Amino acid sequence: MPYCRKCGAKLEEDAKFCYNCGTPVLTYNYASSHPQPQRPIRRDPILVAGIIIVVILISAVVVTALFFASVQSYSFGQTNEVVTQSNVTVLNLNFRADNAKINIIPQNYTNDAVAIYTSGSGSKGIGTKNPVQIIFTNQTVRNTLTVNSQVTTSGFFAGTPKVTCNIYLNPSMSLNLNVTTDNGQVILTSNESATFQTLNLKSTTGEVKAILQNDTVIAGDISLKTTTGEVIFTMNQANLEGNRTFNLQTTTGTVNTQIDENQSFGGNVQVNASAVTGNVDLSMNIDNAVGARIESRTDIGSINANVNNFSGNKSPLQSNNYPSQSNFVVNLMTNIGTINIDATYQSASSPSLRN
């Protein structure tokens, strides 16, 4: 039973005023004084994941838009050259690129001992001023001109830039060439009376090709190498001087050797063609006082031989006139791959120099 808070008189349960002194009676809502704790809000995991995906997609669109907004097309061209001097008869060229197609052309071009035309195209980021860097130096000591050149790509590119280097050489000079690209092609085509004292062409990833024909003079050793790619060597009625060695090599790829020779050179040429993984192909057509002996080896693979006027069964094979005044001694080897031989000696009745 309630009591008046002022005079202490007993009050009825539903009294609103004290009947004795008239003081209002206070009432309390205990439910509102002690509110019930709210239940925690549970988030739907599928909804949360959906929100995250949407945020990621929006971010990707924004980044892509900024990327393409900062990309612009790019083209480049530069010429480096050295004028021929009458007293200079030897050219040493050391050329390297990190990513380029390199064309080597022995050809009389104006009055230059060497002229290198470098061009590039692609897309680059805004603020990248010189994506293609060229170093070119030359020095002449007595009768020898030495040229060192390097082409590199740097800065921000959208995709791989396309760089081409055309190297023109004076064919009247004795040429010593060391040309390398990390990624791309090295291609030498000689149709003139150029003289190669040494020839080293190399690519880490890409094709290496040398075509030597007509009046081209091979007065030194030849090396064509690639780690991943194809090596192609073509010798068509070139002039050889003395005993020489040709090393043709790929780690993963194909070595394709084509020899067409009927001019005696008074010596022997050792041809080593090898692939660790890949095929080794030989096409040979010889005549007159030019003989050949071919030895082949494959660890996992086969040897296919199609020969005319050669004796032997796959390995070794030798022309009917072997040994002769001039000889090719050929070694073909692959660890995993096939060796294909197509060899013909034209003059079936020509005598050999056997004792």
Instruction: Read off the pLDDT of residues 312-352 as tens digits, 9 standing for 90 and up.
Output: 999 999 999 999 999 999 999 999 999 999 999 998 654 55
**What average pLDDT does the chain have?**
86
Domain residues for the domain of 151 are 25-182
In a domain, 191, yes or no: no
Give the pLDDT mean for 285-297: 96
Instruction: Read off the pLDDT of residues 11-60 as tens digits, 9 standing for 90 and up.
Output: 777 776 677 776 777 665 544 445 555 555 555 677 767 777 877 877 66
Last residue of a domain, one of 147, 182, 217: 182
User: Position 131: which residue type?
Assistant: P
In this structure, the answer to whether residues 176 and 224 fall within a common structural domain is: no
In this structure, the answer to whether residues 229 and 301 fall within a common structural domain is: yes
Residues recorded for the chain: 355
Domains contained in the chain, number:
2
From residue 222, how far is each of 120, 217, 285 by CA, in Å?
A: 30, 12, 20
In a domain, 13, yes or no: no
From residue 33, how far is each of 11, 29, 98 by CA, in Å?
A: 24, 6, 81
In this structure, the answer to whether residues 128 and 243 fall within a common structural domain is: no
Last residue of a domain, one of 182, 198, 223: 182
In this structure, the answer to whether residues 148 and 295 fall within a common structural domain is: no
> Quick check: 5 pLDDT over 80?
no
In a domain, 5, yes or no: no
In a domain, 355, yes or no: yes
Last residue of a domain, one of 117, 148, 182: 182
> Quick check: 295 pLDDT over 60?
yes
Location of structure tokens 């050329």:
95
In this structure, the answer to whether residues 234 and 341 fall within a common structural domain is: yes
In this structure, the answer to whether residues 236 and 142 fall within a common structural domain is: no
In a domain, 202, yes or no: no
In this structure, the answer to whether residues 268 and 313 fall within a common structural domain is: yes
In a domain, 7, yes or no: no
From residue 126, how far is each of 73, 129, 330 by CA, in Å?
A: 10, 8, 54
Q: Which of 221, 306, 324 is nearest to 266 (CA)?
A: 324
In this structure, the answer to whether residues 173 and 249 fall within a common structural domain is: no
Q: Is 276 left (phi over 0), alpha (psi -120 to 50) or beta?
A: alpha
Cα distance between residue 277 and residue 270, in whole Å:
22
- What is the pLDDT at residue 110? 73
* DSSP-assigned beta bridge partners for residue 183: 205
In this structure, the answer to whether residues 218 and 277 fall within a common structural domain is: yes
* DSSP-assigned beta bridge partners for residue 238: none
In a domain, 195, yes or no: no
CB within 8 A of 300, min separation 6: which ones? Answer: 335, 336, 337
In this structure, the answer to whether residues 233 and 278 fall within a common structural domain is: yes
* DSSP-assigned beta bridge partners for residue 189: 211
In this structure, the answer to whether residues 282 and 166 fall within a common structural domain is: no
Query: What is the model's pTM?
Result: 0.77
Q: Burial letters for 287-321: b for 16+ Cβ neighbours within 10 Å, e otherwise? A: bbbbbbbbebebeebebebebebbeeeebebbbbb
User: Higher-confidence residue: 176 or 264?
Assistant: 176
Instruction: Read off the pLDDT of residues 204-238 as tens digits, 9 standing for 90 and up.
Output: 999 999 999 988 999 999 999 999 999 999 999 99
Q: Is 337 left (phi over 0), alpha (psi -120 to 50) or beta?
A: left
In a domain, 9, yes or no: no
In this structure, the answer to whether residues 115 and 257 fall within a common structural domain is: no
Find how far residue 162's CA is from the centre of its chain. 12
